[in-house]
């Protein structure tokens, strides 16, 4: 550790310089990612088969299905509330309504490009007609090139990226749990796309980055769909691959202040934060951290919530998982609070409240 001290001091100095150079009062957020952040983009995509646009999705907060893959709000929604701004609308919805003249009507609170089922790798769930991270970047760039988005808003915005879980789940869905060694080349390809995303957003003017690690997907009820997976305990092989990716992601975030002058990178530890709830459920209001509230079959993980034959629990807030893949609104709310005002064990090197508000201009 002592050997790395000079490097840590250097990076901290660059980091603090970046903090002093950006304006406070974040009122705009751009969200990129997968089903954990999708506010309903997929329901506007023709022939997309990865959907949550039916009941009982959305039933605990919106009281109707919005296309979010949970029973209420997502992390992006909670962050918007903490910032005191409206929820970011789906890009696909706004894109269809944007007038042809100038920027009239463009949301000043940002946009959400996330697409359920998508991954960091372009091929992930491509057959389901989801929007990859690469395509989401193209959508963002198109708004800039058509002068719908201006640099002033981009520079003052938060950029959230939460993706990768579908890439890893898809790998095990194809190969089963028989392979013991971590497919490092596969994970490195995922991290390469994160680096590309960072470089492109920085080029477009983005300076505040928030990266969400992958949660313990080896524990999701939907693991029963994987050949050879156990219903009695989490799948260690899947979680090992997740941890390997997360370590690489944190390393990337660590280097951002040096690689991208003036930029700030924050690492939200979905894995460690959610495992905290998983290992001590009663302290966080959970009665069940293994079964989905809504679904059917072993762990309620064999059938998607809302499809014919599904069953639903009485108290969704008592369940860590809403459906076979996704956390409940209660879980997302806990994670959001820890990321907003928590310590370095949850989010590093600073929480979102500090990033958004406690930055002063020179």
Instruction: State the CATH number of the domain containing residue 79.
Output: 3.40.50.1110
Is pLDDT at 26 greater than 60 in this prediction?
yes
The residues, ordered by sequence, that sit 6+ positions from 279 with a Cβ below 8 Å of its Cβ are none
pTM reported for the whole predicted model: 0.92
137 lies in some domain? yes
Mean pLDDT of 315-324: 98
Residues 257-278 have pLDDT tens digits of: 999 999 999 999 999 999 999 9
pLDDT value at position 100? 57
Residue 149's domain spans which residues?
29-358
Chain segment 159-209, per-residue pLDDT in tens: 999 999 999 999 999 888 766 578 999 999 999 999 999 999 999 999 999
- The count of structural domains within the chain is 1
User: Does residue 280 lie in a domain region?
Assistant: yes
Q: Tell me whether residue 17 is in a domain.
A: no
- pLDDT bucket at 102, cuts 50 / 70 / 90: low
> Is 34 inside a domain boundary?
yes
Note whether residue 23 is domain-resident: no
Cα dist. 180→124, 177, 232, 235, 238 in Å? Answer: 22, 7, 19, 11, 10
Is 5 within a domain? no
Q: For residue 227, name the pLDDT band (cuts at 50, 70, 90).
A: confident
Query: Could you tell me if residue 11 is inside a domain?
Result: no
Domain assignment of residue 20, yes or no = no
């Amino acid at each position: 550790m002592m050997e790395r001290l000079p490097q840590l001091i250097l990076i901290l100095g660059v980091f603090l310089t970046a903090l002093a150079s950006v304006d406070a009062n974040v009122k705009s957020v751009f969200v990129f990612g997968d089903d954990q952040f999708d506010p309903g983009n997929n329901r506007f995509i023709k022939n997309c088969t990865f959907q949550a646009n039916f009941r009982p999705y959305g039933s605990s907060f919106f009281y109707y299905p919005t296309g979010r893959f949970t029973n209420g709000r997502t992390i992006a929604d909670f962050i918007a509330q903490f910032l005191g701004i409206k929820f970011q609308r789906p890009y696909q919805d706004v894109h269809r309504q944007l007038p042809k003249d100038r920027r009239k009507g463009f949301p000043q609170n940002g946009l959400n490009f996330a697409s359920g089922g998508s991954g960091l790798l372009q091929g992930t769930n491509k057959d389901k007609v989801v929007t990859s991270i690469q395509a989401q970047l193209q959508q963002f760039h198109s708004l800039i090139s058509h002068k719908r988005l201006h640099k002033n808003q981009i520079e003052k915005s938060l950029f959230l990226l939460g993706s990768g879980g579908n890439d890893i789940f898809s790998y095990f869905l194809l190969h089963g749990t028989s392979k013991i060694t971590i497919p490092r080349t596969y994970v490195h390809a995922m991290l390469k796309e994160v680096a590309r995303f960072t470089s492109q957003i920085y080029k477009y003017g983005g300076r505040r980055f928030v990266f969400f690690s992958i949660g313990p997907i080896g524990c999701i009820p939907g693991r029963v769909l994987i050949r050879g997976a156990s219903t009695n305990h989490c799948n260690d092989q899947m979680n090992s691959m997740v941890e390997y990716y997360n370590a690489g992601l944190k390393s990337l975030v660590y280097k951002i202040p040096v690689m991208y002058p003036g930029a700030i990178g924050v690492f939200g530890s979905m894995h460690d934060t959610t495992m905290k709830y998983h290992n001590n459920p009663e302290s966080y209001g959970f009665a069940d951290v293994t079964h989905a509230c809504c679904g059917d079959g072993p762990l309620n993980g064999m059938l998607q919530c809302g499809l014919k034959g599904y069953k639903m629990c009485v108290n969704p807030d008592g369940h860590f998982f809403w459906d076979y893949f996704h956390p409940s609104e209660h879980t997302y709310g806990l994670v959001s609070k820890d990321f907003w005002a928590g310590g370095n064990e949850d989010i590093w090197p600073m929480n979102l409240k500090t990033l958004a508000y406690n930055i002063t201009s020179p």
